[in-house]
Amino acid sequence: MSFNVIKQLLSAEQVALLRKQLADGPWLDGRATAGPEAARVKNNLQLDLSSPAHKELSDVVKGALHASEAFKALALPRRMSGILFSRYEPGMEYGRHTDDAYRALELLRADIAVTVFLSDLESYEGGALVVGDSAVRLAAGDAVVYPATTIHGVSTVTRGTRWAAVFWVQSLVRDESRREILYTLQSVIARVGAPALSLALSRVQQNLLRMWVEP
């Protein structure tokens, strides 16, 4: 199953700031922002979207995303949804589901899903993000980027508290396989030392973008 990890998207200082404010909430039932099918299997808490804390913490995450070349290369973002901050206590989970293709309130097509882990690994047990057959648990500040078309979920938390930030991206390139080609090219170009070869690969990459980008 295709997914990519961005290490240290958030710094330790940013994670500490987020966790300090998340501890105070206010928290609401997470089913409020799930589609009809997903709401049946969703059992978590979510930071109140109307709270001052939500705006402040969203700005921290958005600032890190705008500064991340890895995120921009992977997602080729055209638009991003609002950020949801989730909290899982022992016994909470999010069963297997698929994300809504279209977020009506934001007029956004959900091509890519992103989860930013905010809890230290040793502070909780369970709570893996399960994408297809892969279970993902990352260090605080790390992010996983994966197609919103996948079947995924969050396994049951058995100890501690799992905090995360979740959002969706409408990409300039809708097709997952095309995004993967472009990202692979970008990764190769960054490692090529020969100027003539780098230029030739860059030309291919840019011409593919001209063919595939949806403005």
pLDDT digits (tens, 9 = 90+) for 9-30: 999 999 999 999 999 889 999 8
Closest residue by Cα to residue 213 from 178, 189, 169, 187: 178
Whole-structure pTM value: 0.92
Closest residue by Cα to residue 18 from 43, 47, 45: 47
pLDDT at 33: 78
pLDDT at 1: 47
Cα 40 off chain centre by? 22
pLDDT digits (tens, 9 = 90+) for 39-50: 889 999 999 999
What residue segments make up the domains of the chain, in order of their start? 4-171, 176-212
CATH 3.90.1010.10 fits 4-171, yes or no: no
- Is the per-residue pLDDT at 123 higher than 60? yes
Per-residue pLDDT band at 203 (split at 50, 70, 90): very high
